[in-house]
């Protein structure tokens, strides 16, 4: 019988990566069975009628000790839990590099920005460069118009948002700071060659599928066998169901893709994927507690909020596990080791997926 992996997410706002109320996205997964889950959640079970939901419980201080007790359970271990967290604003900068800079390098310069970690480095640099722009409204207009353009389906509105973006970009390039002008100039190069990606595609900015892929890849490495996925109801996962099925297809030759320590192995070892209602699954409720507690902590600290409950969360066994993958700025991208690892030969993930998808579609015609 396949191992069952239970997934839930917190802070999901789809393609809206500028949601100030939910700046962090978290995806949690675990492989505890029902009996183990009830043992872990035991401190909360007598106190709560119905579904266990972290955000409802944390509003009352009377539940705080029980939440801490759950997160200190000795069963919590990196062989049983996989977590990912992403700074959505940083993810939007990654989208800008991915959609507006990488095409210039690939199609005009015939260079792969993934090698040497240049794409990730540029996203980090631009993320920090925004702090050097004194006109905060300008940088928000720049980001918002980019996001609006790729989310919009109406052709006239797309053109308006694109123009808004280019106006904001032009104003940024007039700033006296040489570093700002230099690095935002990379974005202008793509526009000069009209290499804009097609807008209006559903979830084109959303990165939850990338987090899901990473988590499933981690579970494949942990278990070394096929497993079943039970995910809380998710519009994105429902949308990407066929794509996930393809990525787990056994006809894909087992291949390591990516560069440095950002490598994945395909095909994914998913045998079955099912969307379930958290109300009927206590295992999903545990995944919610993992995801939402981390999201709560990161959101509060992200906004500079300090409160006693946050300190207690940070001291729990769960928060000190080394099974977290974070997408955010501030990685040590200047080291020679990083550049060397990212430069070494590897299979480009996007190229591999496109090639295999074409074969997959042909075989299913």
Please give the full DSSP string across 285-330, using - where no structure is assigned. Answer: HHHHHHHHHHHHHHHHHHTT---HHHHHHHTSTGGG-S-EEEE-S-
Does residue 364 lie within any of the structural domains? no
d(CA 233, CA 147): 25
Q: Tell me the CATH number at 232.
A: 3.30.420
Does residue 329 lie within any of the structural domains? no
> pLDDT of 26-39, one tens digit each?
999 999 999 999 99
d(CA 106, CA 216): 29
The pLDDT, as a whole number, for residue 115 is 74
d(CA 53, CA 58): 9
Q: Which residue among 165, 192, 219 closes a domain? A: 192
The pLDDT, as a whole number, for residue 199 is 77
Determine phi and psi for 78, rounding to 5 degrees.
Answer: -70, -15
- If we measure between CA atoms, which residue out of 38, 35, 41 comes closest to residue 54? 41
d(CA 16, CA 20): 10
Give the number of domains in the chain: 2
Domain of residue 49, residue span: 3-88+206-306+336-359
Q: Is omega for the bond preceding 279 within 30 degrees of 0, making it cis?
A: no
Does residue 344 share a domain with residue 243?
Answer: yes
Please say if the pLDDT value at position 43 is more than 80: yes
What CA dihedral angle connects 189, 191, 194 and 199, to 10 degrees? 130
Residues contacting 260, CB < 8 A, separation 6+:
117, 338, 341, 342, 344, 346
Q: Which residue among 151, 166, 192 closes a domain? A: 192
Does residue 81 share a domain with residue 68?
Answer: yes
Does residue 255 share a domain with residue 129?
Answer: no
Residues contacting 171, CB < 8 A, separation 6+:
135, 138
Angle at Cα 295 formed by Cα 349 and Cα 205, nearest 5°? 40
d(CA 51, CA 159): 46
Does residue 354 share a domain with residue 222?
Answer: yes
Do the Cβ atoms of 86 and 328 come closer than 8 Å?
Answer: yes
Does residue 325 lie within any of the structural domains? no
pLDDT level of residue 333 (50, 70, 90 thresholds): very low
Q: Which residue among 169, 192, 215 closes a domain? A: 192
Does residue 171 share a domain with residue 231?
Answer: no
> pLDDT of 143-168, one tens digit each?
999 999 999 999 999 999 999 999 99
Does residue 213 share a domain with residue 188?
Answer: no
Tell me the whole-structure pTM to 2 decimals. 0.91
What average pLDDT score do residues 56-70 get?
94
Please say if the pLDDT value at position 355 is more than 80: no
Residues contacting 79, CB < 8 A, separation 6+:
222
Does residue 300 share a domain with residue 168?
Answer: no
Does residue 18 lie within any of the structural domains? yes
Does residue 234 share a domain with residue 179?
Answer: no
Does residue 132 lie within any of the structural domains? yes
Does residue 154 share a domain with residue 28?
Answer: no
Q: Which stretch of DSSP H or E encloses residue 82?
A: strand 81-87
Does residue 321 lie within any of the structural domains? no
The pLDDT, as a whole number, for residue 26 is 96
Does residue 326 lie within any of the structural domains? no
Does residue 163 share a domain with residue 68?
Answer: no
Does residue 226 share a domain with residue 355?
Answer: yes
d(CA 185, CA 288): 42
Does residue 95 share a domain with residue 77?
Answer: no
Does residue 200 lie within any of the structural domains? no
Q: Which long-range contacts (CB under 8 A, 24 or more apart) does 101-104 make?
A: 101/186, 101/187, 101/189, 101/190, 103/190, 103/195, 103/197, 104/186, 104/189, 104/190, 104/193, 104/195
């Amino acid at each position: 019988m396949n191992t069952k992996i239970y997934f839930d997410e917190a802070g999901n706002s789809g393609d809206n990566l500028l949601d100030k109320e939910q700046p962090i996205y978290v995806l949690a997964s675990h492989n505890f069975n029902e009996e183990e889950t009830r043992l872990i959640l035991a401190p909360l079970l007598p106190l709560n009628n119905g579904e266990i939901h972290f955000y409802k419980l944390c509003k009352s201080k009377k539940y705080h000790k029980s939440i801490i007790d759950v997160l200190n359970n000795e069963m919590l271990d990196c062989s049983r839990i996989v977590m990912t967290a992403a700074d959505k604003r940083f993810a939007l900068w990654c989208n800008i590099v991915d959609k507006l800079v990488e095409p210039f390098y690939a199609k005009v310069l015939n260079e792969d920005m993934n090698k040497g970690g240049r794409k990730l480095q540029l996203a980090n640099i631009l993320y920090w460069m925004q702090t050097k722009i004194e006109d905060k409204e300008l940088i928000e207009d720049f980001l918002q118009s980019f996001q609006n353009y790729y989310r919009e389906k109406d052709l006239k509105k797309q053109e308006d948002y694109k123009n808004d973006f280019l106006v904001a970009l032009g104003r940024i390039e007039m700033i006296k700071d040489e570093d700002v002008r230099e690095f935002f100039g990379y974005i202008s190069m793509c526009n000069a060659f009209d290499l804009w990606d097609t807008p209006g595609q559903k979830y084109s900015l959303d990165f939850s599928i990338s987090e899901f892929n990473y988590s499933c890849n981690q579970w494949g490495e942990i278990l070394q066998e096929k497993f079943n996925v039970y995910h809380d109801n998710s519009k994105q996962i429902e949308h990407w169901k066929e794509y996930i099925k393809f990525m787990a297809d056994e006809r894909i030759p087992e291949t390591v893709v990516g560069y440095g320590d950002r490598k994945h192995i395909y095909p994914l070892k998913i045998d079955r994927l099912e969307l379930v209602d958290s109300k009927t699954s206590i295992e999903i409720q545990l995944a919610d507690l993992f995801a939402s507690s981390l999201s709560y902590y990161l959101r509060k600290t992200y906004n500079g909020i300090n409160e006693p409950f946050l300190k207690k969360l940070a001291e729990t066994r769960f928060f000190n596990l080394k099974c977290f993958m974070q997408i955010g700025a501030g990685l040590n991208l200047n080291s020679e080791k990083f550049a060397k690892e990212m430069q070494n030969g590897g299979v480009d993930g996007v190229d591999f997926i496109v090639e295999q998808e074409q074969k997959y579609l042909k075989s299913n015609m």
